Amino acid sequence: MPRELDWTRTGSAGDPVPCVLCGKPAICRSPKGTPVHKVCAEVWIEQQQTSAPKAVA
């Protein structure tokens, strides 16, 4: 299940600049100020979680 980010309190907006993930113009800024689409960030997180090595019990 994809993780949904909530940037309502910590995200911001600015002039359109390339998204760090897809390269298309983005006005969204991550909580750290990085230009990125919210959807791109959610997809990236999902990909990182599914490709992370699983712990062996």
Tens-of-pLDDT digits for all 57 residues of the chain? 566 877 777 777 889 999 999 999 999 888 888 999 989 998 998 888 887 676 665
Q: Is residue 3 part of a domain?
A: no
Q: Is residue 39 part of a domain?
A: yes
Q: In which domain, by residue range, is 17 found?
A: 12-49
Q: Is residue 34 part of a domain?
A: yes
Beta bridge pairs of residue 35: 29
| Cβ neighbourhood burial of 36 (10 Å; 0-12, 13-18, 19+) | buried
Could you give the C-alpha distances from 1 to 18, 32, 42, 55, in angstroms and in order?
27, 25, 11, 20
Tally the domains of the chain: 1
Closest CA to 30 of 46, 14, 48: 14
Return d(Cα 43, Cα 51) in angstroms, integer: 12
